Structure 1
């Protein structure tokens, strides 16, 4: 079995989630139907809503089910922008951190291209944390023109935790709603929607041991959103569509399990992360840890490796039985540096050597040992392959692997 160190991308189903999913998949019933099967499915959905609300520190009525984090982010950012602009046409500005996941970044850019949004990209420190001084200056300068602020709770690449409560409080002084993509944070660190001061918050099932294809947007009870899709009026008429009772039940089971065990599991995974970081730094002294050392997700360890292409190192580790991630986007076969690392001040050459190792509920000390043992040879071969820009260059390092 390969060593799986890409839990930030998706994590295996937890046992409670698998049990809930298989139970509900054997049943039928549309939660909007009025007959017995429909009412039974509705009870499953509403019980799950209450469970997820408890796990996320929210009221059940604030939980709007979606197909995942991407849909939740789209619904929040577009819905807030349209609703605020409709009330006051001057509100065209969006303040967005420069290190957002593409689910938010691409949505904001689409609004800029097609809906007249005016975007201010909030800079970050060299550790990937939003600069509060810039945010506060922008809020003070043009509060009556700002539709919303959007800043992720935890960065998906370098694991940096953002000061969400401070950001929401600063915006609240000007009556401006804040959205946060909490997909990476929920289930990894304590998250409370009620205490955060946020208007909306996105979470996802498959990041916490639930199935792919289900998530939620938490929406404050007084918050107005313009729907992105229309139909049967489900979910407070914010998100129409037949609800996936089985997926929702599994999502709730995963959420309850992960939050119940959060403190113990977070300490365990943090220990593995620290073991991984020290091991990598010992066997590859040239490697540079990116993101903050303390204000980061428990399971995240992100490095740049000088002189090699991240994709080359990924494939070489894969051949050695270790699965990781680069965190970079690849378009039409051309590797591109991470926008997150560039925003943190890295050069394109530095950013192209990125590798993210992310731990989760199935991770063990032996997984870390396997990575540390495999890394020196993989790194040396990746360096020999050089910054060619093509994974096929691994052949020149003697692996025989071709893309």
Structure 2
């Protein structure tokens, strides 16, 4: 079922051969460009037209009525409501510890630089609702924004064909978190609506433009975020989910197989990768996949994902070799199922999130670990982080110097401005002390 890549004894750069989804974001941008430009030029009507085309429904109203949000928790199974409440509690505990405080550095007597942390004014949060309605993504987007102190939070999720509203579980999560500005808009048109804003029939704002768009989505959401970066801030280009598992012969093949399947059920394009030095473990995992996949609810979707070129098993010489491979892969989710897993995990440099040991599966992080599951994909964990309170904050340097502190440093400013052939920079300092008159 899994494609096999044997790197034992090889000097090949893992990045050249590792399984990876073929996501042509540049091509997707050209596909969604008419939609994005339509929203920019024609606003609400273009959004409704895109909804009819892609979601097969024309919502009666793009903004979800307050009553539909307020009553949504009543439709939840009590166990689901309790689980959401617990997820929110744990996420708030973790994200509260990410809050930043202003720091003032006295550079010299009379000269200070303060780094002040200020939340963005308004954010647009996107929550997918296609193959799986991601209730948990509401929590993962909203909690860090709230902890950061964002004053205006809007959320968009695709309309369901039978109601024209987002999935009721998504609305319920919004209600439990106190989010009352929700739009029934999906895909690229949601990102464009947040970036440009939407005006109502009276010319006033139906949806005001935002400063930042966050949240995961399919390749078209990713393409819209890339296309509109600069018009609006984005968190990252979070695409289809991926899991990598670094495991040795101490790992339980039942666990490994179950965890590979857990992420494969997200999407036929999801990536599941096993990295191991153990052929015995590989054989046992393949046997388990043969047993577990047919028994899972979304077995066709899972089988497609596991058999795709984005998934596979990589055989390595040893754990040190395996660490080089997983660092090259830079997985969204990385599990370490080895002897002394904590020590092995401490050596990992590139991953969106690391799950250590037999009792820390990725699905725990998806829902109730307290960590955030909006994470970089496609190797972006080499340079990007997952969603956090920091995502919603801006660091602003506040500089305050006295006359004497400026006078003392003035010769250095003049020397550097002369070296750069920008003499007016130096004159802006010396003018304060009678120079240049």
TM-score, length-scaled by structure 2: 0.28
When Rg is computed on C-alpha atoms for both structures, the one with the higher figure is: 2
